[in-house]
Amino acid sequence: MTQLIAPVFLAPILITGAAQRSGFHLAKHWLTKGQPVIISYRRHKAGVDELVALGAVAIQADFSSDEGIFALIAAVKKQTVSLRAIIHNASDWAADTKDSEAAAAVFRQMFQVHQQAPFLLNLELESLLLAGAEQSGQMTDIIHLTDDVVRRGSHKHAAYVASKAALQNLTLSFASRFSPHIKVNAIAPALLAFNEGDDEVYQKKALAKSPLSLVPGFIVLVQTVDFLLNQPYMTGSILPLNGGRHLQA
């Protein structure tokens, strides 16, 4: 599969939640090409050190409160006057619970991370994206990473899925609001890579969920992000990255 070769921009790309998995691979992809990258992370992991060694600016940020979100915004503005793109990758995963108080806490947490943080970051960093567009003479980008499960719901993770569905809807609103200088799109991935400890039974079940019977790795997400950054005629779109899972009964 041929990988897109995207140009390097002077303005940095901001990637939230980049300490591991999707965010880490996206950041590393750009850094190895000489593209400036700013990452946020909630908890320090080895991936943060690796990205910093490659040249990333790393900012610790906790999206569980508005104060944490605004702290990241202020830190980003201290680092740069312009942005090429914002990739909203930061995510939290919590199962529903039958206890009402605990369920309410989970819902609030999902709201904070998947809706409130992208909402406030988009609003507060719009001026940096506009500066990036003026600097480069081309449109800049916001990309929301949602989840393929939004299309069918979940009986175990209803709060998580509802918050990701709301993020997809925000894609439409911000695409309309920020045009024509900022494109806003979403990518809805299914499982891209197994976690350590995923047993053979689980892996076999996961492979059977899509017609392509493939868990492709994070390279397909990198390719899709590159496509959107280089695509001048697409905004308000939600791209499924699911191996054809929607075709299964």
Q: What angle do CA 82, 83, 85 make, to 5 degrees?
A: 165
| Statement: residue 209 has pLDDT above 90 | no
Return d(Cα 16, Cα 88) in angstroms, integer. 5
What is residue 135's predicted lDDT score, i.e. its pLDDT?
Answer: 94
| Statement: residue 240 has pLDDT above 80 | yes
Cβ 218 vs Cβ 89: under 8 Å: no
Q: What angle do CA 219, 220, 221 make, to 5 degrees?
A: 90
What is residue 198's predicted lDDT score, i.e. its pLDDT?
Answer: 72
Residue 46's pLDDT band, with cuts at 50, 70 and 90, is very high
Q: What angle do CA 223, 229, 234 make, to 5 degrees?
A: 105
Across 223-247, average pLDDT: 95
| Statement: residue 3 has pLDDT above 60 | no
What percent of the chain stands above pLDDT 70? 96
| Statement: residue 249 has pLDDT above 70 | no
What is residue 6's predicted lDDT score, i.e. its pLDDT?
Answer: 52
CA 79 remoteness from chain centre: 21
Q: Which of 215, 196, 192, 220 is nearest to 204 (CA)?
A: 215
What is residue 205's predicted lDDT score, i.e. its pLDDT?
Answer: 79
**Cα–Cα distance list, 235 to 121, 140, 174, 197, 230 (Å):** 18, 11, 9, 38, 12
Return d(Cα 90, Cα 63) in angstroms, integer. 9
| Statement: residue 9 has pLDDT above 80 | no
pTM of the model: 0.93
| Statement: residue 87 has pLDDT above 60 | yes
What is residue 8's predicted lDDT score, i.e. its pLDDT?
Answer: 60
* Least confident among 78-87, 108-117, 122-131, 148-157: 148-157
CA 161 remoteness from chain centre: 15
Return d(Cα 212, Cα 214) in angstroms, integer. 5
Across 94-121, average pLDDT: 94
- How do beta strands 37-41 and 140-145 pair? unpaired
Catalytic annotation, pick one of 41, 160, 202, 233: 160
Q: What is the pLDDT of residues 147-188, one digit of tens each?
A: 999 999 888 899 999 999 999 999 999 999 999 999 999 999
80 contacts: CB under 8 Å, gap ≥ 6: 11, 12, 36, 38, 128
Domains delineated in the chain: 13-233 (3.40.50.720)
Please say if 41 is a catalytic residue. no
Residue bearing tokens 């993770």: 157
Average pLDDT, rounded, for the chain = 93
| Statement: residue 233 has pLDDT above 70 | yes
